[in-house]
Homo-oligomer: A and B are copies of this chain.
Amino acid sequence: MHAENRYCFDHQPLLIVISGPAGVGKDSLIRRMKERGTDFHFVVTATDRPPRPGEVHGVDYIFVNTEEFLRMEQEGELLEHAVVYGQHKGIPKQQVRDALASGRDVVMRIDVQGADAIRRLVPEAVTIFLTAASEVEQEARLIARGGDSHVQLEKRIRTAREEMEELRKFDYVVVNGTCQLDLAVDKVLSIIEAEHCRVRARRITL
| Bound CA–CA A134/B164 (angstroms) | 45
- Give the dominant DSSP class at A's interface: mixed
Does the CB pair A4–B134 fall under 8 Å? yes
A190 contacts chain B at the CB level, 8 A cutoff: yes
A150 contacts chain B at the CB level, 8 A cutoff: no
Q: Which residues of B contact A47 (CB under 8 A)?
A: none
Q: Tell which of A7, A131, A137, A193 has the most Cβ of chain B within 10 Å.
A: A7
Q: Which residues of B contact A7 (CB under 8 A)?
A: 131-135, 164, 175
Does the CB pair A5–B194 fall under 8 Å? no
| Bound CA–CA A175/B196 (angstroms) | 11
A42 contacts chain B at the CB level, 8 A cutoff: no
The residue on B at minimum CB distance from A1 is B135
The one of B6, B132, B186, B199 in contact with A173, judged by C-beta atoms closer than 8 angstroms, is B199
21 contacts between A and B (CB under 8 A): A4-B136, A5-B136, A7-B131, A7-B134, A7-B135, A9-B175, A129-B199, A168-B200, A170-B199, A171-B198, A171-B199, A172-B197, A172-B198, A172-B199, A186-B193, A187-B194, A190-B191, A191-B193, A191-B194, A194-B194, A194-B195
